[in-house]
A and B are shown apart, each in its own frame.
Chain A
Amino acid sequence: MELSGSQMVIEALRRENVSVVFGYPGGAIMNVYDEVYKQDYFQHILVKHEQAAIHAADGYARSSGDVGVAFVTSGPGFTNAVTGLATAYMDSIPMVVISGQVPITMIGTDAFQEIDAVGISRPCVKHNYLVKDVKDLPRILKEAFYIAKSGRPGPVHVDIPKDVTAHIGKFEYPETIKMQTYKPTYKGNVRQIKKAVEAIANAKRPVLYIGGGAINSNASEVVREFAKITGIPAVETLMARGVMGDENPLLLGMLGMHGCYSANMAMSEADIMIAFGPRFDDRVTGKLSEFAKHAKIIHIDIDPSSIGKIVPIDYPIVGDLKNVVQGMIPLAKEKVDSSKYKSWRDLLNRYNEIHPLKYDDSDDVIKPQWVIERVGELLDGDAFITTDVGQHQMWTAQFYPFSFPRQFVTSGGLGTMGFGLPAAIGVKRAFPHKTSINFTGDGSILMNIQELMTAVEAKTPVINIILNNKFLGMVRQWQTFFYDKRYSSTDIQVQPDFVKLVESFGGVGYRVTTKEEFDTALQDAIKSNKVAMIDVQVDRLENVLPMVPAGGTLYNMMLEYKE
């Protein structure tokens, strides 16, 4: 079959069962957009800024598990997309991003809208390609999808010069793929698995440390089963919220800088840590020399470079988490006696009773944590939750009752403000019949506010709940604790009227100052089936607690803040 480069892109997407592409046209990618116009295999959602195209594809990928796809043009179109690529790369999200490039004959001449796109994307993608010959395009697109979703997932960037999109070539799309140099390991080493289970059986205070790998590997079910048969208490990272389900009695909660006391104490007092696909982020470990210092560590990860990167590992197992845990379960049934850990579980539960996650509710002012808990009460358990970045993100991770994997969509590694709204659009597109809530802050929401228009136009009625404290709250909190309350550039009392703002885009808005108003607003927003913004005026000076100050130790948390 002879096709133009542009037609090849469309045909490849069809064969990869892509149902939606987020993007923004421009000069260098016009040939591709011309073919987008002619086809009806997939929907194209026009965003208002390229960064949002990538975040929307990212939200789609995180919630559905499928590869997210986005189109952008050359030059500024691509540079706008970079934050999105870096966000997806840090959290290992499968995505294929196709950018236009100036014609090959003009590359290197500083042409209009020319930038060295693959040079820029290289450190923030899993792999990238500059397509120099149309005959390579089918293979490259096949590889791009394969690389994005296999092994440790990640974004792949394909830069296609304009003349290549016009050139005609033979289209042979490989059914299967075998790459000479890229062969991820899925099966764990059997002997290592056996040794690890024996170490667990001999331990007295084991803890499961669950990371984002459990989501990427779709391992939630087997992880829950492993926990259940062994009776081992579990902690989740920000990226793993939802893996165990918050009603699971073995889940202590989130660990790390704003983790709960019992989770951090479990890590500090454990004699063996079973790491299911986390990456020992500094926001999790605190001071490394004190991190889990009594524990032997089993680390299961599909990425060998993740193992031993931060802390030395006693039992490294390279492989797909689901596959490895499936292998561990029969051995654990045979060897591990869950009653042996009863006193350990009792101790951790006691920690939880002494220092539970808490906040002082008030009748005079709405507490942000109350809003999050209340949304959890009012919605059935199958709503999807996205967030932006800051205090509201941590409160959501702490107080929202997550019940299933992929329910929580948040930018963890890169911590990208402006992620929430476009990501929520991607989530809503993946699950049109589910509620898509974006918890955001009055700082974050303004970073990609233009996407309200996308949401209205694409009929993806997402509900934005602004926990509005008229501060860049997380920075303000650090200024309170560590900078003698010098609120440098964080006091942002000059704000738009968020109600009028969303109305001008064609959505519905609510300004909420009491708890009763909030209940009404949320129910009304859901009923309206429109893009909604609920501007909740919350306590301005509420802090995210508990807290391990940067460089502090997990077992020495700041439980409350006293002036």
Chain B
Amino acid sequence: MENIRRVLSVIVLNEDGVLSRISGLFAGRGYNIDSLTVAPVPNTNLSRLTIVTSGNQRVLEQIVKQLHKLIPTYKVIESAEFVEKEMALVKIPLNEDFNGLDAMLKAYNGTIANSGENFIVVMVADDSKRVDNFLKAIKKYNPIEMVRGGSVALDV
């Protein structure tokens, strides 16, 4: 069976240990986590996890069912229609020639987030695939450090 990438939004009770229940479930049953982000849902006792995972159809079905089975799980959203964005930060030395950087940042919903004595930090927010491309393209400015945030998603 074919390997499919899947974005899952998991709404859980915001209580002690809930993240370890989820990550333990994935580790214990041998499921993949490509990325995982978590933050509280405003004005509730809930948290939203966005998990990017992959597997064949049977495995993905089991992942959703096993997530549902956890007692603190409120909802698992597996809609195929998501707006999905990921953020990345890149630190670039100031001695580089920044010719074309502005245009590149614009193309990836990016901006200069900070500028110091020795380096600048740029940020972009875009689809995961496009963030991949950006991080490849930005290499020509010899970045010192890069960090990406993992996907967040909302179903539409």
Contacts and interface: CB of A to CB of B under 8 A. Distances in A.
Interface of A: 118-119, 122-123, 126-127, 130, 132, 147, 179-182, 303-305, 308-309, 312
A130 B16 CA distance: 8
Contacts of B24: 122-123
B28 A305 contact: no
A130 B65 contact: no
Nearest to A312: B58
A130 B20 CA distance: 13
Interface string B64-82: 0110110111100000000
B73 A181 contact: yes
B13 interface: yes
A119 B62 CA distance: 23
Interface in B45-69: 58, 61-62, 65-66, 68-69
Contacts of B28: 123
Contacts of B68: 304-305
A305 B66 contact: yes
Contact of B69 (A119, A123, A130, A305): A305
A522 B146 CA distance: 75
Contacts of B72: 181
B20 A122 contact: yes
A312 B66 CA distance: 16
Contacts of B5: none
Given A181-B72, A308-B61, 10 more contacts: A123-B24, A123-B28, A127-B71, A130-B16, A181-B12, A182-B71, A304-B68, A304-B69, A305-B69, A308-B58
B62 A122 contact: no
B21 A122 contact: yes
A182 to B, nearest CB: 5
21 contacts: A119-B20, A122-B17, A122-B20, A122-B21, A122-B24, A123-B28, A127-B71, A132-B16, A147-B71, A180-B13, A180-B74, A181-B12, A181-B71, A182-B71, A303-B69, A304-B65, A304-B69, A305-B65, A305-B68, A308-B62, A309-B65
The residue among A180, A181, A304 with the most chain B CB atoms within 10 A of its own CB is A181
B8 to A, nearest CB: 15
Given A123-B28, A305-B62, A305-B65, A130 B17 contact: yes
Nearest to A152: B69
Contacts of A118: 17
B116 to A, nearest CB: 37
A181 B47 CA distance: 13
Nearest to B69: A305
Nearest to B61: A308
A118 B20 CA distance: 10
Contacts of B71: 126-127, 147, 179, 181-182
Contacts of B17: 118, 122, 130
Nearest to A130: B16
B97 to A, nearest CB: 50
B69 A309 contact: no
Contacts of B74: 180-181
Contacts of A309: 62, 65
Contacts of A305: 62, 65-66, 68-69
Contacts of A126: 71
A305 B12 CA distance: 18
Contacts of A179: 71
A23 to B, nearest CB: 25
A233 B72 CA distance: 41
Contacts of A132: 16
Please name the 7 residue pairs, one residue from A and one from B, whose CB atoms are nearest each other, closest first: A305-B65, A127-B71, A181-B74, A123-B28, A305-B69, A182-B71, A304-B65
Contacts of B12: 181
B114 to A, nearest CB: 35
Interface in B1-28: 12-13, 16-17, 20-21, 24, 28
Nearest to B27: A123
A303 B69 CA distance: 8
The residue among B24, B62, B65, B68 with the most chain A CB atoms within 10 A of its own CB is B65
Nearest to B45: A180
A305 B58 CA distance: 11
A309 B63 CA distance: 10
Nearest to B75: A181
A122 B24 CA distance: 8
A179 B13 CA distance: 11
Contacts of A304: 65, 68-69
Nearest to A118: B17
A303 B62 CA distance: 12
Interface in B73-122: 73-74
B21 A181 contact: no
A123 B65 CA distance: 16
A146 to B, nearest CB: 10
Contacts of A303: 69
A182 B68 CA distance: 9
A9 to B, nearest CB: 20
A147 B68 CA distance: 15
Nearest to A179: B71
A147 B70 CA distance: 11
Contacts of B20: 119, 122
A22 to B, nearest CB: 25
Contacts of A308: 58, 61-62
A181 B21 CA distance: 15
Contacts of B58: 308, 312
B118 to A, nearest CB: 39
A314 to B, nearest CB: 15
Contacts of A122: 17, 20-21, 24
A344 B61 CA distance: 36
Nearest to A309: B62
